[in-house]
Amino acid sequence: MQILLGVTGSIAAYKACDLVSLARKRGHSVRVMMTASATRLVSPTTFEALSDYPVLTDTFAGTTSTMDHIQWAKWAEVMVIAPLSANSLGRLACGLADEVVSTVAMALPRGTPAVLAPAMNTEMWLHPVVQRNRRWLAELERYTIVEPVEKRLACGDFGV
């Protein structure tokens, strides 16, 4: 399977490295795209080494052409955005395509499965605007949303 992984600016970005490793061990091809915030948490070089593909970090500075966002969207058999930050969730909910992950998500062909895995602090997750944005995305029936679970968070809190 050809998996397109979007990594956004959540502290959980380091866990995406495990996703790539597990998928590769199971024989899947994985390409990674990252928001600028995500690159401050995990280096694109890490994902290049794990995936054996260049990492897409800029819509207009493609790996092979300035149309990479279209080509990568067409390449994907499934797109997963994990972690999905509150900021990127809002971008998707409002139809904004102002960085590479949201741009590729907007270019994803209809019918290509898209899985979203939100990851943020409990208070951020429970914020009414974030919950509204989650509902908006769920209503589109274009995305499968993997709801966050309760556990110890990076900040030390326990919660969703």
- Catalytic choice (155, 157, 158, 160): 155
Q: Does 17 participate in catalysis according to the annotation? A: no
Whole-angstrom distance, CA of residue 43 vs CA of residue 72: 20
Task: In whole angstroms, give the CA distance from residue 52 to residue 45.
Answer: 10
86 close to 25: Cβ distance less than 8 angstroms: no
Burial class (CB in 10 A: 0-12, 13-18, 19+), 78: middle
Point out which residues pair with 33 in neighbouring strands.
Answer: 6, 56
Let me know: does 142 contact 107? Beta carbons within 8 Å.
no
Active-site positions? Answer: 155
